[in-house]
Structure 1
Amino acid sequence: MFSPTPSPEARAAGIRKIVYYQEEVLLENGVLPPVPALRATAAAVLANPWAGTGPETDLGPATREIAPQIARALTDRLIAGLGGAEKIEAFGKAAIVGTAGEIEHAGALIHTPFFGNLVREFLEGSSIICFADERAEAGQPLVVPLWHKTEAATRSHYQTVTARVSDGPRPDEIVVIAAASTGPRPHARIGDRATDPAVTSRILEGASL
């Protein structure tokens, strides 16, 4: 259970609110999946620390200060909601910058080791974290891609979950998202990149359209 008072990480990052969303697929094509999985997003809404600055601004200092706090706050929510880091099998990340910010402001908070490495550590993963970023008005949904946290070639875990904050980001805010799943897509059965045959354009030779 989380305390009703803001965590030290949330206070340090200047987070206005955290929105947690979770879903469970009970039926897919009318059938219970063999491995029912939970998928979740944790989204932090915070003031854009670079609002009103120009493209010559060094993003590094604020990134180093803020991004680790966001990583801790969001992964804490995912770990609590999904039953522990050991239950999580896939992860992803995303950010939405408000209309007064640069798309690079969103990237600064998710595309550096100060966020990505810590999300990976806290969720006990080793894969590169797939991502999405966008500039949008408040309430814009964003589809966040996920894949396996230790075996990126495991195609069964290629999936998405949609995040949305109804009142964010405001023009001078950023929404930072961490996402996770406890299992694969329902009824995954399209093979694995590690065992795929070699395929080239030669398979099209002689093909009738």
Structure 2
Amino acid sequence: MAEFTLRKTMIFLEEIAHDGGPAGPMRQRGAVVALVSNPFAGGYTEDIASAMDDLKPLGLAMADKLIAAMGGIEGIDGYGKAAMCGEAGELEHTALWHVAGGYAMRERLGEALAIVPSAMKQGGPGTRIDVPLGHMNAAYVRSHFDAMEVGLPDGPRAGELLFALAMSRGPRIHARVGGLTVDQISKGDGLR
């Protein structure tokens, strides 16, 4: 069992009324990030895949924290995840978040058919990462393509990982470039 000792978490919340155009329905975006120790930092370990299960409790706790900060589950229709390793880690260590982060949001949000958009990178303290967002039931809903930038001034340190989950309510403000709309979702395969 891999140890991912939690150092800190932080919540980011945005409420967007307009983006230069007329005021409309408020859009909400939120993210939670966690800094944890990276048990694989500083060397190469062949078998790391089993550590994905070790991260599931952290993913669930982060999803719960974010949903509570956003005022509950009602209306949340977008999600995404990201991970960043410090300089002693490798990009593959961030891939451990794919299962734990995606599983946590699907578990807590209920029916969610679309792939959870994801970003990974390596960086040091203060490095920012864009968490991609997409509609949780249909990947092709263009009005929900977005990203939320997050980061912490004191992490990730060399031997740490930064994990992020993001959720949103509603389309981008002033979305008007066409594509599949929310009312056209067929809920078949998570694409359309």
**What interval of TM-score do these two structures reach, taking the shorter chain for normalisation?**
0.7 to 0.9
- The corresponding residue for 1:131 is 118
Once superposed, what is the RMSD of the aligned Cα atoms? 1.7
Q: Which has the higher helix share?
A: 1
- Mapped to 1, the partners of 2:71 and 2:140 lie a distance apart of 25
Conservation of the 8 A alpha-carbon contact between 1:82 and 1:182: no
Partner of 2:190: none
Query: CA 1:123–1:13 in 2, change beyond 3 Å: closer, same or farther?
Result: farther
**What is the Cα deviation at residue 120 of structure 1?**
1.5
Q: Distance in 2 between matches of 1:78 and 1:150?
A: 19
Structure 1 residue ranges without an equivalent (≥5): 1-11, 196-209
Q: Which residue of 1 aligns with 2:104?
A: 118
Whether 1:86 and 2:77 are equivalent positions in the alignment is: no
- Residue 159 of structure 1 deviates from its aligned partner by 1.0
User: Are the equivalent residues in 2 in contact too, given 1:96–1:135 (CA < 8 A)?
Assistant: yes
Task: Deviation per CA, 1:95-127: give whole Å up to 9, x if none.
Answer: 01001100000112x223x43223222122221
- Matches of residues 100-179 of structure 1 in structure 2 within 5 Å? 100-108=88-96, 110-112=97-99, 114-124=100-110, 125-179=112-166
Instruction: Tell me the distance in 2 between the aligned counterparts of 1:87 and 1:14.
Output: 32
Q: How does 1:1-209 map to 2 (within 5 A)?
A: 13-33=4-24, 35-54=25-44, 56-65=45-54, 67-108=55-96, 110-112=97-99, 114-124=100-110, 125-193=112-180
Aligned residue type for 2:20: N
Q: CA deviation at 1:51?
A: 1.6
Judged with a 3 Å threshold, the aligned counterparts in structure 2 of structure 1 residues 13 and 173 are, in CA distance, closer, same or farther, namely closer
2: distance between equivalents of 1:183 and 1:30? 17
Contact 1:127-1:152 within 8 A present in 2 as well: yes
Is the contact between residue 96 and residue 176 of structure 1 (CA under 8 Å) also seen in structure 2? yes
> CA distance change for structure 1 residues 13 and 73 in 2, over 3 Å: closer, same or farther?
farther
Tell me if structure 1 keeps the 8 A contact 2:132–2:147: yes
How many residues are treated as equivalent by the alignment? 179
Rounded to whole Å, the distance in 1 between the matches of 2:172 and 2:21 is 15
- TM-score normalized with structure 2 length: 0.87
Q: Distance in 2 between matches of 1:96 and 1:136?
A: 7
Assess, with a 3 A threshold, how the Cα gap between structure 1 residues 30 and 189 changes in structure 2: closer, same or farther.
closer
For 1:13 and 1:80, the matched residues in 2 are separated by: 23
Question: Which ranges of structure 2 fall in alignment gaps of 5 or more residues?
Answer: 185-192
Q: Distance in 2 between matches of 1:82 and 1:126?
A: 21
Contact 1:39 1:161 in 2 (8 A): yes
Instruction: Report how far residue 151 of structure 1 moved.
Output: 2.1
- Taking the aligned partners of 2:57 and 2:13, their CA distance within structure 1 comes to 22
Q: Alpha-carbon deviations, 1:13-33, whole Å to 9, x = none?
A: 521100101111122214213
Structure 1 residue 152: deviation in Å? 1.8
Amino acid at match of 2:40: W
